[in-house]
Chains A and B, each alone.
Chain A
C-alpha cells in the first residue's frame, strides 16, 4: 500500500449531512472503511445509500461533516479530483458510453493514468506509442479477467443489461482504484449473473487487494461477500457490524419489515 498515513482507515466519513430542500437525505452519518475490506451498505429505498456514495465520489457535497481519504481531508472535491485520487465507481442505472465499443469504454477508464505529451500522442510516436500499448495491455488483462473477450468490439449500448454492468465494472477497474464503489452491481440480474458478479467482486478483491464498498439489496449476496455491513434508514446509520449480527439486529429488521405493534 502506498501513502505515508497508511495506518488509519482508508476512508473515513465523519458526521456528514446532505439535504435536498427540506429532505434530510443523510443525517450525521459516520463510517470508516479499512484497507482491504468489503463493506456492504444496505437499507430500505430512500435510506440515503446512493446519496452516501455520491458524496464520497464528489457528485454531492455535504452541508456538514468531513470526508477523509487515506488520512487527508477530501471533503469538497469535484468528481474528477476524486477519480484522480484512486476512487472509482459504478452507477445504479449503468452509465456507460453507449455509442462507444466495449474496448473504448474500458480505455476511457485509463484516462486518469495517462500522462505525457499530447503532441506525441497525436503523431502516435515514441513514448506516446509505448504508453498507448501499455494501456491497451492493461485493458486486455481486465477484459480477460472479467471474461468479456467476445464483446470487446460491440457498442456498449447494444449489450444486455447484465453485461453492461460487467463492462461498467471493467471500466472502473481500468483506473486501478484503491477504493471501488459499486451502486447495486447486481440489480436486475438473474441468479446466474448474480453468481458471476459475486465471483468477480471477490476475485477483484483477492487479486488486486481493492477495498470495496457496495450497495446491495439481496441479503444472501450481502451475507456471502461482505466483511462488514452498514445499514441506513431515513438518512441515519442504524447498524454497523459483521453481517450476521446486522442481519439479526432488531432495529434493522424493524426498518425493513416495519415495527410490529403487538
Chain B
C-alpha cells in the first residue's frame, strides 16, 4: 500500500521536477510539440472549413493530404522542377475542388448530412486508388531542399526541417485565420454554415463558396502533405494523420478556425510532454493514445469544444 502511494506520488511529482531541472530540454520538447501541433492544426483546418461551409465531415481529408503529396512527388520524379511542380499541384487540387463540387456535392444538395458523409467516404477510396494508380504505391522520398539536420540556439537543439515546417504552418494558419475572420468570403462562409436557405436569399452563391472551401482544404492538404512527407516519406500512412486531427477537432470545436489552431497546439504539446515525462512511468507509447484520451475528457466537460458555437436548443 505504502509502496503504491509512493509510486503514485513520484509519478505525479517527479516529471515536474525533471522539467524544472532541465529547462533547456523542456523547451526542446515544447518546440517539438508545437511544430507537430501546427501540422495537426493544418489538417484540422481543412476539416473545419468544409464542415463550416456544408455541415459535412469530410472523411477524405486525410487522403487529400496523401493525394496532394503524391501528385507533387510524382511530378518531381518525372523530372518536373519544383518551381513548376508546386504550382501544377496547386492547380490539380483546385481542379479537384471544382470536380467535387460538380460531381459529388451539387447532385446531393439538400440531402441528409449522413449521405454527404458517405459520399466523402467514397471520395476517400477513389482518391486513394486514383493517386496510387497515377503515381504508384511505393514509398517516395520528398526532398524540399531543407536538410534534416539540427543546429543549436542558446544551448537548445533545433531541427531545421521541423522548424521550417512549423514556421510555414504558422504563416499559413495565420493567413487562413485572417482570411476567414475578416473578409466578406469569411462572412459568407459563416452564413452558409449557419443556414443554407437564408444564405441563398441574401445573395451568396453556394457553389462558389463550396469550390472555395474545397480548394482551400486542398491547399491546406498539400501543405500538410509536403511537411509530413518531407519528414517520413510520402506513403499511405500520410492519410492517417487525419485521425490525429480528430481529437484536435473535438478539442477546438468543429466550427472554429481559431479552435483548430489552438486545439492542434494543445494536442501537439500535450502528447509530447506526456510521452517524454510520463511515458517512461507507464512503459512509453503514450503519444499514440494520449490525444484521444484528452479529447474524450473534453467531450465530457465541453462537448462543443473550446471555441465551438454554443449548442443552444429550445425546449
Residues in A lying within 8 Å of B, measured CB to CB: 57-59, 78-80, 83-84, 88-89, 91, 95-100, 104, 107-109, 111-112, 114, 118, 121-124, 155, 157-158, 171-172, 175
Contacts and interface: CB of A to CB of B under 8 A. Distances in A.
Interface centre among A97, A104, A157, A171 (most CB of B within 10 A): A97
B107 to A, nearest CB: 16
B256 to A, nearest CB: 11
Give the interface SS of chain B, mostly helix, strand, loop or mixed: helix
A171 to B, nearest CB: 7
B50 to A, nearest CB: 18
Contacts of A109: 202
Contact of A158 (B203, B206, B312): B312
A227 B195 CA distance: 33
A88 B200 CA distance: 11
Contacts of B182: 121-122, 124
Contacts of A100: 190-191, 194
Contacts of A84: 203
8 interchain residue pairs of minimum CB distance: A83-B203, A95-B198, A97-B194, A79-B200, A112-B203, A121-B183, A80-B205, A99-B309
Interface in B235-267: none
B201 A111 contact: no
B184 interface: yes
Interface residues of B, number: 26
Contacts of A175: 202-203
Interface string B66-105: 0000000000000000000000000000000000000000
Interface of B: 175, 178-179, 182-185, 187-188, 190-191, 194-195, 197-206, 309-310, 312
A108 B192 CA distance: 10
A57 B194 contact: no
Interface centre among B184, B197, B203 (most CB of A within 10 A): B203
A111 B202 contact: yes
Nearest to B175: A122
A122 B203 contact: no
Contacts of A78: 200, 205
A108 B202 contact: yes
Given A95-B195, A122-B179, A157-B312, A89 B187 contact: no
Given A97-B194, A108-B188, 4 more contacts: A79-B200, A122-B175, A122-B179, A124-B182
Contacts of B175: 122
A109 B188 CA distance: 10
A88 B202 contact: yes
A59 B185 CA distance: 22
B259 to A, nearest CB: 14
A97 B312 contact: no
Interface centre among A84, A108, A118 (most CB of B within 10 A): A108
A59 B200 contact: yes
Given A80-B206, A122-B182, A108 B191 contact: yes
Contacts of A121: 182-184
A98 B195 contact: yes
A123 B181 CA distance: 11
B51 to A, nearest CB: 14
